[in-house]
Amino acid sequence: DPATWSHYSDLENLIIEEAFQGKQLRAQLDDYFIDFKSNLQISNTDDYKRRPIKRVVRKREDKPLREARFMDLPVSYGRSFGGEYGWISPFVIEVRRDLKLEPNDLPSNNPSLIPILVEKAAEGIIEEGTSVRKKCEAEKLAKILREKKNAGIEEVWKCCAYLYTLESFLYKTLNAVMRLVGDKEQEKVWRSKIRTLGPFCLLLWDDPFNTKLTTKKTLYRGAILTEEQLTAYAKMAEDDKAYGSFQ
């Protein structure tokens, strides 16, 4: 098969570009490093595993990336869909409880909380990234977030939203955890992420821009489902008193 070029992830590109613009000799990534002098990608564990690289400016083609982002996680077979949570997710409730916050004690209401939550979020991201061998990515995410530590909630929220949309381990880990919320059999798993991912989730949840309730909107989400899951959902939908969405 002919050799083909492939692109780096969003976060890897940020790390590489920062090193390149800073006139550094190399950019360190989690599984390999980039040698700018020789234009090579070299494995961290095997110097003989090398690939040529090139820097290009291109129009981004997002279709395969976006499809993978929203359809790569399977819907749980044990609990395909869950009920309504009201206004606040159980995860957010438990995060606030873990942080010992009062009901109205949010960063949008109390600016003094912002640097504290940003630092806790950054530390949690690094811990989660390190656990999945993505320490370099995690440290870059944490650095970007920490740069907004002393900014207002609007700038912090926009930063969190930006970090979540980047192609990285962060959104994958968050999405996987959120799918488990409400599943009694998986409660220990999602509760174990409250300390590490909770502060970031709280900052992202506390949206300072959309303060008014909006209705009559349709939110679409892609998922690969089995016939059994579709049949079970159709049966649930026949009950006027039952409301649920796929996890």
Confidence of residue 179 (pLDDT cuts 50, 70, 90): confident
Confidence of residue 82 (pLDDT cuts 50, 70, 90): low
19 and 128, same domain (yes or no): no
21 and 84, same domain (yes or no): no
124 and 160, same domain (yes or no): yes
- Arithmetic mean of pLDDT, 101-127: 93
Mean pLDDT of the chain: 85
pLDDT confidence of residue 178: 86
pLDDT confidence of residue 66: 56
pLDDT confidence of residue 30: 95
Confidence of residue 29 (pLDDT cuts 50, 70, 90): very high
137 and 173, same domain (yes or no): yes
127 and 156, same domain (yes or no): yes
H or E element that contains 157: helix 153-165
Q: Which residue has the higher pLDDT, 97 or 226?
A: 97
CA distance 83 to 85: 6
88 and 141, same domain (yes or no): yes
In a domain, 156, yes or no: yes
Q: Which residue has the higher pLDDT, 90 or 20?
A: 20
The total domain count for the chain is 2
The answer to whether residues 148 and 155 touch, using CB atoms and an 8 Å cutoff, is: yes
